[in-house]
Every structure is written in C-alpha cells, then in structure tokens.
Structure 1
Amino acid sequence: MSDNNDRINKKMKLAEGLLLRADLLKKIEHLQNRIRPVLVVSDDKLPQEDPDKLIAQLRNAIQDLETLVIRINKTNNETLVEGEGVLMEALAKRDSLKMLSERLRRIRLDAQFNNSGDSNLKNTISIKKLQKEMDETGRAFRKIDSKIQEINWLTELKD
C-alpha cells in the first residue's frame, strides 16, 4: 500500500476528499511524466530513476484514487440535499445549470455580434427574454452551488 493510504482511509470531510482526489490526479500525471523519459536509454547509460519503482508508485496512486472515488461516490449517493434529493442529483443539476448558463451566454454574444452594424439585420430571439433566463439560471446555479459547498465542508466522507 502507498504512503497515502492512511490519508485515503482516514475520517475526513467530503471537501477534503475532493481536494485529495485532485492531488492524486496531479500525482498520477506527474508520475506518468517521470516514467516516460526513463523507459529507454542508451546501452551505456542507466536511467535517472528506476522505472519499476515509478510504475509501482503509479499503481499505488491509482489504487488510492479508486478507493477515494468510491468513498466520494458513496457519499454523493447517500447524502441528502434539502430540496434537491441526494448530493449526486444536486451535482448533476448544478452541472446542467452551469452548462445552460454558458450556452445562453454564448447565444447572446452570437446574436449581438451577428447584428452589429448592419441595419438590414434583426435578431430572431428576444435578447431581453434571454437575459432574464440567464439571470434566473445564474441565481439557481449559485443557490445550489452554495448548498453543495456547505455540504462538502460539513459532511463526513463515507467509508
């Protein structure tokens, strides 16, 4: 087991688990980048690092990530969010609100850009209605995101 194993299996808040997951993903990428240059060397040279040790570290980091992701997913599937169902559902709703907000913003920009300067052109959508929907979507996103952030710092990661 890796030296991170104690950190992976300890009691922690969901937010800590999410930060640790990000760290593990960076570590895995870093190890992959360290492995690449030591895979092949000239006959008369030794690699700067032992590729077998690096691959073992990579294996351990990926196993740690698996354990942590299982704990995060279990927590997301078992933690209730007021008015939203379980945390997993709230996360999906937040992601869809973010996507909708980004797409609506892009549509507004496209409509404004394509109608700049030519008096013979008119918009086929109401920018005012679009802006109203953008505002509502933004408010809904911020509301659910605040709930999620609060839960992340208050909820113990499941075993």
Structure 2
Amino acid sequence: MKLAEGLLLRADLLKKIEHLQNRIRPVLIVSNKNKPQEDPDALLAQLRQAIEDLQAIVVRINKTNNDTVVEGEGTLMEALAKRDALKMLAEKLRNIRSASQIHNSGDLNLKSTIDIKKLQIEMDQTGRAFRELDSKIQELNWLTVLKD
C-alpha cells in the first residue's frame, strides 16, 4: 500500500467513526415497549474496531513520515511541519493585508503602518514555497510504500 492510500484510509476511518457515533446515539435509549432500530452493542463493536484500525494506520503513516526523506527538506515529517507553518504564515499575512487596507472612511489622516508592497512580495513568496513543498509531498505520498 502506498502512503497516499494509507492517508485516504485514515480519512475514511475518521468518517466511519463519526458515522458510527451518530448511529449509536439514537439507539441508546428507547421506551420500554420498543426495541432499538440497530443493536447498540454491535455498533459499539464496530466503533471499537474502527478506532483500532485507525490507530494501526496512524502508526504506519507516522513511521513512514519519519523514515522518508524529502529532497532538501529533511524527513517527510519535517516537510509536513514546514508546509503547515507556510500555510499558517500565508493565512496570517492575508489577514494582516486585509486589516491594513484603508477603506473609504473619508478620513484623509489615515495611513497604513506597514509597507503593503513588501507584504505582498512576502505573501507571494510564501504561497510559492507552500505550493512547491506541497507538490513534493503529494508526489512522495504516491511513490512511497507505507511502512509496517
């Protein structure tokens, strides 16, 4: 199994766990005369198994991320952390840029306290770095065999 397939399996298991929890809720309590529409014990067993399966795939994904090297970035785990940091920085810079815009308030005494042009250049560089790193990561996800 490739790493990307393991990541898809993890996402599916997370959805399955949420779905099972939502199916269990309505069958937990019924009136004395009624039977639940589904067996809560069977649903709980499925939930427990899905969580065990999730634990196993997360361990395999983490082992793979720690053992796989991304050219120029260190391990895949380090590249993922860097990608997350770039994504966060890009989002925060966009928010700052938006907040620094002076809208038509009619007050001629207002001015921005930051250099918008420099900020835009940093936003562009950050976005490009994120996209390039994300592409490397996605490629490795489909090329790398998931560790046992």
TM-score scaled to structure 1, two decimals? 0.91
Structure 1's consecutive aligned runs of 4 or more residues displaced over 4 angstroms after TM superposition are none
Quote the Cα distance in structure 1 between the aligned partners of 2:33 and 2:74.
Answer: 63
1:115-157 residue CA offsets vs partner (Å, 9 max, x unmatched): 1123110000000000000001011101110100000000000
Residues 1:109 and 2:109 are matched in the alignment: no
Quote the Cα distance in structure 1 between the aligned partners of 2:5 and 2:14.
Answer: 14
How far is 1:31 from its partner? 0.2
Quote the Cα distance in structure 2 between the aligned partners of 1:84 and 1:72.
Answer: 18
1:42-82 residue CA offsets vs partner (Å, 9 max, x unmatched): 00000000000000000000000000000000000000000
Matched residue, 2:61: 72
Q: What are structure 1's unaligned runs of at least 5 residues? A: 1-11
Task: In structure 1, give the amino acid aligned to 2:10.
Answer: R
- Equivalent of 1:60, from 32, 42, 49? 49
How far is 1:30 from its partner? 0.2
Secondary structure at the residue paired with 2:41? helix
Quote the Cα distance in structure 2 between the aligned partners of 1:71 and 1:116.
Answer: 51
How far is 1:26 from its partner? 0.3
Task: In structure 1, give the amino acid aligned to 2:118.
Answer: K
Matched residue, 2:40: 51
Task: In structure 1, give the amino acid aligned to 2:103.
Answer: S
How many pairs are equivalent? 146
Q: What are structure 2's unaligned runs of at least 5 residues? A: none
Q: What aligned pairs does 1:6-155 form with structure 2 within 5 A after superposition?
A: 12-112=1-101, 115-117=102-104, 118-155=107-144
Task: In structure 2, give the amino acid aligned to 1:64.
Answer: D
1:90-120 residue CA offsets vs partner (Å, 9 max, x unmatched): 00000000000000001001111xx112311
Secondary structure at the residue paired with 1:57? helix
Quote the Cα distance in structure 1 between the aligned partners of 2:122 and 2:115.
Answer: 11
Quote the Cα distance in structure 2 between the aligned partners of 1:142 and 1:31.
Answer: 35
- For the aligned residues, what is the CA RMSD? 0.5
Quote the Cα distance in structure 1 between the aligned partners of 2:118 and 2:85.
Answer: 20
Secondary structure at the residue paired with 1:47? coil
